Amino acid sequence: MTAERRSRSTEAFFGRRRGKTIRPLQAGALADVLPGYQIDLDTAPPQPLAALFETPVTAVRLEIGFGGGEHLLHAARLEPASGFIGVEPFVNGMARLMLSLGEAPLANIRVYGDDATRVLDWLPSGAIDTIDLFYPDPWPKKKHWKRRFVGKANLDRFARVLRHGGRFRFASDIDTYVNWTLLHCRAHGAFEWLASAADDWREPYPDWPGTRYEAKALREGRHPAYLTFARKHDAG
Ligand SMILES: C[S@@+](CC[C@H](N)C(=O)[O-])C[C@H]1O[C@@H](n2cnc3c(N)ncnc32)[C@H](O)[C@@H]1O
């Protein structure tokens, strides 16, 4: 399928939806635990968006492509007063998170198991405090760069849903993708890169737990960059 002919629900998703096996325990967690955490995009978002969560929250954060959920779980435990929306189309990743939530439930997490562009288009304007995009699929070959999640269309989506002053965080071990993101954010105009010294992007974020994908990159000798952008106040 070419990018142009993809259906709307998979506009920005080009990866695998399933691994080789889903173990019975994981299948059980998907059947029993997922329904209690899943967002229904056919229903209008609650006003205020904080009402999406079973516990009072003062900020709503979005993590796109949470993989096995290492960061999402860690952050949700660390910040019980924030609500976390996690998006991951890879069923095995979702199953892994559901297994953890089955053992230790969290009232400040909601999830969606498909393309994050659908969630972004569902969210109210200015409702999100932070968007985390950690180790997005790198698409290193030039002919595939247009598949990268960062691009004009998705930065427009980020600019709409982020509150002014909100943050977009992007981590990657792929130099060309880091440069690509810096260039796209600069060209877009609604984002300011918050780095004044090299340590600001070479050092992991505060309270960073690491992720499975990052561990692999480090084992293979690649050096991640941790970018943070602020949604500008004066840019539309
Ligand atoms: C390289 S993995 C990194 C996973 C995790 N963030 C980590 O650091 O371990 C990229 C993830 O992004 C997910 N992904 C790809 N396209 C996506 C999309 N359009 N919406 C949401 N997630 C997406 C993939 O399924 C995959 O799990």
pLDDT at 13 (0 to 100): 83
Handedness of CA 46, 52, 58, 59 (dihedral sign): negative
Residue nearest to atom 12 of ligand 1 (CA): 65
Token pair listed for 131: 């968007």
Residue 93 alpha carbon to ligand 1 centre in Å: 9
Cβ contacts of 190 within 8 Å, gap of 6 or more: 155, 158, 159, 231, 232, 235, 236
From first to last of its 236 residues, the chain has per-residue pLDDT tens of 444 445 556 787 887 888 878 899 999 999 999 999 999 999 999 999 999 999 999 999 999 999 999 999 999 999 999 999 999 999 999 999 999 999 999 999 999 999 999 999 999 999 999 999 999 999 989 999 999 999 999 999 999 999 999 999 999 999 999 999 999 999 999 999 999 888 889 999 999 999 999 999 999 999 999 999 999 987 76
Residue 116 alpha carbon to ligand 1 centre in Å: 10
Gyration radius of the chain over CA positions: 17
User: Which residue spans within the chain are E strands per DSSP?
Assistant: 59-64, 82-87, 109-112, 128-134, 162-172, 191-193, 225-231
Q: Which among 16, 42, 10 has a CA at the least distance from the CA of 149?
A: 10
Answer whether 0.75 is exceeded by the pTM: yes
Question: Which of 66, 91, 172 to mutate to test ligand 1, by most ligand atoms within 8 A of the CB atom?
Answer: 66
DSSP bridge partners of 196: none
- Chain length of the chain: 236
Assess whether the C-beta atom of 115 lies below 6 angstroms from ligand 1.
yes
Q: Give backbone dihedrals phi and psi of 24, rounded to 5 degrees, phi first.
A: -55, -40
Residue nearest to atom 11 of ligand 1 (CA): 65
Give the pairing type, strands 128-134 and 162-172: parallel
Assess whether the C-beta atom of 180 lies below 6 angstroms from ligand 1.
no
Residue with tokens 């229904």: 40
